[in-house]
Amino acid sequence: MTLRFGPLLLAALVTLNFSVAASNKRAGGLSVLKRNAAREFPSVFQAWAPAQIAGEDPLTALSSHDLVFCSAGLMGLAWNDARAGLATGFKSEGLSVARAKRATLLQRNPRQIILCEIRYRDAPRNFLPDDSPWWKRSASGERESGWAEGKFFKLNFAHPEYRRQVARQCRAAVESGVFDGIMLDWWDEGREPADRLALLEEVRAAIGRDALIIVNSNDRPLPLSAPFIDGIFLECYDTRTPARWKKIADTLRWARGALHGGRFACLEFWYHQSRQDLNLMRAVTTLSLTLSDGYCLFSDPNSLPSPDHLHDWYSFWNKSLGRPIAIGVDRPDGAIERRFEHGLAVHNPMGNPPVTVVFATDNRSLASGVVARTHRVASADGDIFVADK
């Protein structure tokens, strides 16, 4: 990926990349890009909230995911200021605990990537002093409302000094030796595009080229941001029409071309009726498998009173396919398929009729458990097929 860096970014990368690389080395294990590239599939991520796996301790559940983005607190860190927005680093007493937790996670899952969410767009009332110029305010001087569910207020990332503060926090997260990069939520290039790009340039300069930046684009492509980011989080809150499924697939195709060289997409669907909407779980998994080298998640909708993004763990997610051996291809019947070392993934989008998959030898459907040479994949569904042994 060719990055169009500005003068600020180029100058900073020369000096800062060494300290970030040293932090990654202290953290141990493979580099973050090698961990991303060495995964087997399916590959599942965690968006803040954990998998609820009966009988499993929280650390084991956490390590089941190949990528996690979370608050600093999940790893045992606390910012070094009571007003988190003013903090420039973490309290020292939490660092050893957090690094030990990371080491344990990587011992259990050597491919895992851990990212820290950094607040830049909105935050709770106590994030900054009431009179801070870093709050975004209306013409009357009142703080503007942000995420309604969390009762957050918007932050003024148009303020150059606040952008520098966000970048300082990003650098602190990466240099802690706990995180492989950072995550920025609520990323919409249709709103304040110049300020967003200026923020990305500050952040990339602060963390260097060896750390990751992913942003939440929902189902939108991000052509302006693409040179600065390593991944997109597709938080697909609306998956009820064929048109939305097509838009999501189009964005994945865009990401595959624009975020090449080890970059990736994290694709999430929310359930419609319950966590037992297994066709939707299989659909999001196989859509991710066929159109990206990224990560998938099937979780609770945000409308529930429980924490957002809680989810089950499904046997369909167990590593059955190995590595991809080809890119995904559009089938004549409207489905999408992709071959892997140990099998075939097939995605059938909403609005497309059921499709028939034919093999020369017996294959097992991981959706049904049926072993046969001919299988059916329903609309708005997907399946993984492996050779019967």
Using DSSP, state whether 282 is helix, strand or coil. Answer: helix
C-alpha to C-alpha distances, 384 to 242, 285, 321, 351, 367, nearest whole angstrom: 22, 9, 8, 20, 7
CATH numbers and ranges of domains, the chain: 7-121+157-319 (3.20.20), 324-389 (2.60.40)
Residue 226's Cα: distance from chain center in Å?
A: 15
- Phi and psi torsions of 124, nearest 5°: -65, 165
The Cα 347–Cα 105 span in angstroms is: 31
Return the CA Rg of the chain. Answer: 21
The Cα 307–Cα 255 span in angstroms is: 29
For 13-60, the pLDDT digits (tens) are 434 444 444 444 434 568 998 999 999 999 999 999 999 999 999 999
What's the pLDDT at 68?
98
**C-alpha torsion 359→365→367→368, nearest 10:** 110
The angle at the Cα of 33, spanning 32 to 36, to the nearest 5 degrees, equals: 90
For the chain, 389 residues long, give each residue's pLDDT as a single digit of tens: 334 445 444 444 434 444 444 444 434 568 998 999 999 999 999 999 999 999 999 999 999 999 999 999 999 999 999 999 999 999 999 999 999 999 999 999 999 999 999 999 999 999 999 999 999 999 999 999 999 888 999 999 999 999 999 999 999 999 999 999 999 999 999 999 999 999 999 999 999 999 999 999 999 999 999 999 999 999 999 999 999 999 999 999 999 999 977 799 999 999 999 999 999 999 999 999 999 999 999 999 999 999 999 999 999 999 999 999 999 999 999 999 999 999 999 999 999 999 999 999 999 999 999 999 999 999 999 999 999 87
What's the pLDDT at 27?
47
What's the pLDDT at 1?
33
Residue 244 DSSP label: H
What's the pLDDT at 6?
52
